[in-house]
Amino acid sequence: MSPWAGDISYNRSMSQPRVLLITTLLAIVLLPWTVVAVPMISPVEVALVGPESTQQLVVTQETENGLSDLTHEAKYRSKNEAVAIVNEQGIVRPVGEGITEVRVSSSVGTKNIPVRVQGLQNPKPISFRRDIQPILTKAACNSGGCHGKADGQNGFKLSLFGFDDEFDFAAVVKAARGRRVNISAPDRSLFLRKATGDLPHGGGRKIETSGLWYARILRWLREGAKLDEPNELDTVRLEIYPAAASMRHDSGQQLQVFAVDSDGTRRCVTREAEFISNATDVAEVDSSGLVQVSTVPGEAAILARYRGVVSVARVRLPQGGNVARPVLTHPIDVLVWDRFSLLGIRPSELVDDADFLRRVYLDSIGTLPTVEEARAFLSNRALDKREKLIDDLLRRSEYADFWAMKWADILRVDRERIQSNGTIAMTRWLRYQFANNRPYDEFVTAVITAVGSTVSESPAAFYVVHNDAEKMARSISQAFLGVRIECAQCHHHPFEKWGQHDYFAFAGFFTGVKQKKMGAQAQKILDGPGQDLAHPRTQQIVPAAGLGAGPAMIGEDVSRRTVLAAWMTKTTNPFLARMLVNRLWAHYFGRGLADPIDDMRSTNPASNEPLLNMLADRFIENGFDVKKITKFILTSRVYQLSSDVNQSNELDEQNFSHARWKAMSAEVLLDAISQATGISESFNGWPEGYRAIQVWDNRMPNYFFRIFGKPRRVSVCECERGTEPSIAQALHLMNAPETMSKLRSRFGAVRRLVESNLSESEIVDELYLSTLSRFPTTDERELMVGVFDDPVSSRQTAVEDILWTLINTREFVFNH
């Protein structure tokens, strides 16, 4: 049986063999002397209603380090198997109405759990919506790879994730002339025989004939395969037990999920719920709800989903050991060290001046420090020199170039769609915003409400790149709010509360946008009145509304986008500030507090929620001042940690206990090579002297850009920028004729050093400073000076070879 084949099978003969029973009894006799604790069992009593109901038991023991799960080592025995039976996994199933007990024996003691079984003789009719659909979801029948995809599978199409009960009911019962169900011989129904693999089924066996899912579907067919009325018994919330667990490494924890229906019914749906971990390096979860943690310290949110309702359990994996806490004055550090203490992670040391210098230059202005800048900083003895440097960098013109480029990627400033003039205009506008540190709320308002010509300096071209209301809504939501509302276009968002209603409500803000052609290269963006959109399934008009907000009040004399901008930039907006600070954090640390950055949701919490909240609050309090919050981040100790790891933090990915090795973007790397060799890049058809971070043309044919992954700007996701290495990159760095000619140029750094009267040792210093922003170590100096001694090298070839080598070191190619 494949691991996801769904239903569980029960077998009466599976109950404990005699030998085991004796062992258990012996253990019970012996244990009271060694252990005082008794197992904690959830729930304290079991109520099973209906023939196909189940109850997952969870058995835990409280220890000093939190809960310890005993569910899968405990032994279970039903006192009356005519009423209920229980299997090895601790799942109780009804047999006959009545009352009995399940005896749970574990290494820490024994407990009896009362069990009441009802609703077997006159069971409630099966509800297609409540009882059948979750099976189709859990068995993955309606997943995107199977019958849920747009054109179904082999003529049988279900709605993706089962978001459309009516459609799915019709697909099962009515479509294909009703051949999938056989009311007169329900067990001969194609629907069942395919699912059980009785008839050839591309998806294999999904449901076991001995299981309860089979029994439930069969009963539904026997009852006439009906569709019940909507909303009768909606599930309103899920309760997970345990909701939070601190675990030991390499251990497991069984979860238990209850669905609470609108009528107050509370029932175990562990078997029907789906589980997903947001941090699989820390914890994985299987389809039965068993969480398994690894050895990587951190936290994972385990999402449970059932009938479109989601909830999470937090699993924490600390590692032992006390963490020394330095004197922390920076508010960021206080919250970061809270995590280190909690998880037992010893962070890396403070980074040295040279590495800090190189890192903060590359991160904040996308530019390498020059030899002179490096010398000045390294010889500076002032205690506040790092802070001063940060101030200086944020004032540099490269700051504006670099951040304009980054935002041009995010906002998709694409020459393919808005021509050269539009691209230049919008890039200039962006550059101006960052040069002048325009408050972010104003910046966002300007983008959201842009009107006018696409060739004047403005963000109006955004509305040419995104040429319909839905596209605008999707990009704005993802880029500024961190919500992938796109998922809710066709179906309920699988991991969030968002549904199609929310999607079309949000898109309704953009229905007024009009485009007017002005000559060959320009368009004008205007605002018409617009209208609310209709829900595609129900055809009901959905009033425009912010995400999670009530219907917007749209007056006669204001544009819809103005109303949206006001909602987005209100200081109480729950998304905007969090998204921006998380984006900045991800930029400077190589990973967001919430990750990925444009998928922020309650079910994908930040690895340090207090920190994300504090940063967002502070950003708002400071009037959405981007440079101020940037400086706040860069002056923290956590930003200034070394990338050298220790035994305690080498596996840590989510708590920022060491700096990451970040790929340099294509433009930054190209500029770095140009600067180190002293020869600027010549871009085909462009005047000399442009730096790659200033190139506005995202479609410029350039081999370097292509292989190093400069984004084409087809998506607002920063993930579009390739950060993965490739062979072509390595080959190009080693052998590109362009680099060779830079090394050999009569006007370049190599020639200048060769012709200078610097000693060999001084030349090596210069080369290290110009590439790695640091002086060589004694060993390195010795190695490189040795190149000059090579009988076949001239001074020229020696300097060429040393610079070639440094440009190809991993320390050069990465920002660390």
Q: What residues from 734 to 773 belong to the interface with other proteins (CB under 8 A)? A: 734-737, 740, 772
Report cis status (omega within 30 of 0) of the bond before 687. Answer: no
Query: Who contacts 507 (Cβ-Cβ below 8 Å, separation ≥6)?
Result: 469, 470, 472, 473, 533
Nearer to other proteins, 262 or 295 (CB): 295
Among 112, 571, 759, 777, binds other proteins (CB under 8 A): 777
Task: Give the Cα separation of 204 and 495 in Å (integer).
Answer: 27
For strands 84-86 and 91-94, give the pairing.
Answer: antiparallel
Per-residue DSSP letter, 77: E
Nearer to other proteins, 139 or 579 (CB): 139
Binding range to other proteins, per CB under 8 A, among 75-83, 506-514, 661-669, 682-690: 661-669
What DSSP assignment string belongs to 737-750? HHHHHHHH-TTSHH
The SS3 of residue 16 is coil
Nearer to other proteins, 391 or 738 (CB): 738
Question: Taking a C-beta distance cutoff of 8 angstroms, is the pair 251, 69 a contact?
Answer: yes
Nearer to other proteins, 691 or 713 (CB): 713
Number of chain residues interacting with other proteins (CB under 8 A)? 97
Task: Give the Cα separation of 769 and 748 in Å (integer).
Answer: 16
Query: Who contacts 474 (Cβ-Cβ below 8 Å, separation ≥6)?
Result: 485, 486, 489
Minimum CB–partner distance for residue 491 and other proteins (Å): 10
Binding range to other proteins, per CB under 8 A, among 373-381, 458-466, 629-637, 660-668: 660-668
For strands 84-86 and 58-63, give the pairing.
Answer: unpaired
- Site track 780-799 with other proteins (rule: CB under 8 A), x = hit: x--xx--x--x-x----x--
Minimum CB–partner distance for residue 369 and other proteins (Å): 16
Task: Give the Cα separation of 351 and 661 in Å (integer).
Answer: 13
- Site track 493-532 with other proteins (rule: CB under 8 A), x = hit: xxx-------------------------------------
Q: Pick from 805, 406, 393: which is nearest to 813 by CA?
A: 805
Q: Which residues of 634-660 are buried (b: 16+ CB within 10 A; e: fewer)?
A: bbbbbbbbbbebeebbebbbbbbbbbe
Binding range to other proteins, per CB under 8 A, among 149-157, 183-191, 212-220, 672-680: 149-157
Residue 156 binds other proteins (CB under 8 A): no
Among 41, 181, 336, 487, binds other proteins (CB under 8 A): 487
The SS3 of residue 598 is coil
299, with CB counted inside 10 A (0-12, 13-18, 19+), is: buried
Residue 703 binds other proteins (CB under 8 A): yes
- Site track 711-730 with other proteins (rule: CB under 8 A), x = hit: -x-xx-x-xxxxxxxxxxxx
Binding range to other proteins, per CB under 8 A, among 8-16, 74-82, 331-339, 657-665: 657-665
Contacts of other proteins in 263-322 (CB under 8 A):
274-281, 284, 286-287, 294
The SS3 of residue 350 is strand
Among 442, 486, 527, 617, binds other proteins (CB under 8 A): 486
Nearer to other proteins, 387 or 468 (CB): 468
Nearer to other proteins, 288 or 613 (CB): 288
- Site track 621-650 with other proteins (rule: CB under 8 A), x = hit: ----------------------xxx----x
- Site track 326-365 with other proteins (rule: CB under 8 A), x = hit: -----------------------------x----------
For strands 533-534 and 541-542, give the pairing.
Answer: antiparallel
Contacts of other proteins in 36-65 (CB under 8 A):
none
**SS3 per-residue string spanning 662-690:** EECCHHHHHHHHHHHHCCCCCCCCCCCCC
Among 15, 118, 613, 808, binds other proteins (CB under 8 A): 808
Among 113, 139, 390, 479, binds other proteins (CB under 8 A): 139
Nearer to other proteins, 84 or 313 (CB): 313
Contacts of other proteins in 1-30 (CB under 8 A):
2-4
Q: In Å, how far are 102, 105, 109, 210 from 22, measured between CA atoms? A: 17, 12, 15, 29
What is the token pair recorded at 642?
Answer: 């070394």
Nearer to other proteins, 445 or 604 (CB): 604
Residue 171 binds other proteins (CB under 8 A): no
Minimum CB–partner distance for residue 754 and other proteins (Å): 15
